[in-house]
Each structure stands twice: as structure tokens, then as C-alpha cells.
Amino acid sequence: MKKPSLLSLLIFLWVLCSPIQAEAALKSAVADYKATIIPILELAISQEGQSELKFGDILPSGAGPTTSLPKTIVVEIKSNTGERYQVTQKLAWPLQNAAGDGIELENLKFRSSSAGGSGSPVTDFTPATDSAQTVFISDNAGTGEVVSIEYELTIPPAQAPGDYSSLLTYTVSSL
């Protein structure tokens, strides 16, 4: 039997390792994958039973105005948009009792704070108005946040008695 020559052995190795053979052994297919991530910008009152702002019984004083204990509503904002947003509040009507007596809106004051420390809350008590008011602006990344809005109500000394109410709406929107 004849021994393979060095040249035939080299040719055999070259054919075995040639790129043409390697490419023939490798086959690939391309598949497109797509994922849709739905943008979220939501607001919810995060504490059970906190859908009403109730100050309870406040007794006016003939000597001067009476201020209620502060009451807080906590809202949670979820966001994945990567954009700044703002939270606003709007009173539907001035605080009124069943007899139609009203409390001037400047007697209802609010301020806000954020649990995560991001964004810009309203840090000083500010009188409520009958138009939309910003209570919080997010950071530039639009990070979700838990915002506490604290309210206090001042009762003038000659205020008529009754249960005073209004509807308070919170809205979150992109900036």
C-alpha cells in the first residue's frame, strides 16, 4: 500500500478546513422579533378610603378664624414614558353646604411632598383656586412617584354651620 504523500495530506487538510466547507456546514436564518411596550402614565389615589377629603367637625370661634388639622391625600403616579409630567388638581365648585353657603377658596390651602424626593412639589401652603393648579412636577426622566398633598381649612369666625363639600379632581399629563 502506498503511503500518502505530504502534498496529498496537505491538500486533504486544506479541503477539510477550507472556508467553502465551513460555510457549507454553517447555515443560518434570520427572524424578526418585535416587542411593543405600551406607554404608561397613570395616577391613582393610593390609600384605601382616601377618595374624600374630610375635615370633620370644626367649631368656628367668635374670637377669630379656626384652622383645621391638616388632612392628606396620597396619589401614586406610574410612568414609563421617560418624559416629564405634572399633577394638577381642580375643584369643581367652591366649598358649599346644603343651604348654599360657601367658604371662600382662599381658606382652603395645600402643599405637597414626594416620597422618593424626585421632582418639584409645592412646599409652601398655597390657597386653592377654581382653576387647575399644579401640585407636582416630575423630574426630567418622568420617574414615577408617590405624592402626598396636605390640605388645611381655615373657618372664618362668622361662618354658617353645615357640611361643606366640593369635588376635587387630580390629573396627570405629560409636559
Residues 102 and 126: their CA atoms lie apart, in Å, by 19
Asked if the structure places residue 26 within a domain, the reply is no
pLDDT value at position 47? 66
- Give the three cell numbers for residue 9: 495530506
The answer to whether the CB of 148 falls within 8 A of the CB of 70 is: no
pLDDT value at position 16? 55
- Rounded average pLDDT per 10-residue block, the chain, 175 residues: 60 57 70 90 77 73 83 93 96 86 92 93 94 96 95 89 86 95
Asked if the structure places residue 120 within a domain, the reply is yes
The answer to whether the CB of 110 falls within 8 A of the CB of 122 is: yes
Backbone torsions φ then ψ of 23, nearest 5 degrees: -65, -35
Percent of the chain predicted with pLDDT > 70: 82
Domain extent for 119: 41-174
Q: Which residue has the cell 361643606?
A: 164
Please give the C-alpha separations between residue 51 and each of 107, 118, 149, in angstroms, as whole numbers.
Answer: 21, 24, 13
Asked if the structure places residue 156 within a domain, the reply is yes
Residue 136: closest CA among 153, 152, 148: 148
Please count the structural domains in the chain. Answer: 1
Residues 125 and 107: their CA atoms lie apart, in Å, by 11
Asked if the structure places residue 155 within a domain, the reply is yes
pLDDT value at position 108? 94
pLDDT value at position 14? 53
> In this structure, what CATH number is given to the domain that contains residue 102?
2.60.40
Tell me the residue type at 85. Answer: Y
Asked if the structure places residue 18 within a domain, the reply is no
Residues 147 and 49: their CA atoms lie apart, in Å, by 16
Q: Which residue has the cell 372664618?
A: 156
Asked if the structure places residue 32 within a domain, the reply is no
- Give the three cell numbers for residue 38: 405600551
pLDDT value at position 124? 96
Cα-Cα end-to-end distance for the chain? 87
pLDDT value at position 171? 94
Residue 71: closest CA among 108, 103, 98, 46: 108
Q: Which residue has the cell 388639622?
A: 69
Asked if the structure places residue 125 within a domain, the reply is yes
pLDDT value at position 96? 87
Asked if the structure places residue 20 within a domain, the reply is no
User: Is this model's pTM higher than 0.85 or not?
Assistant: no
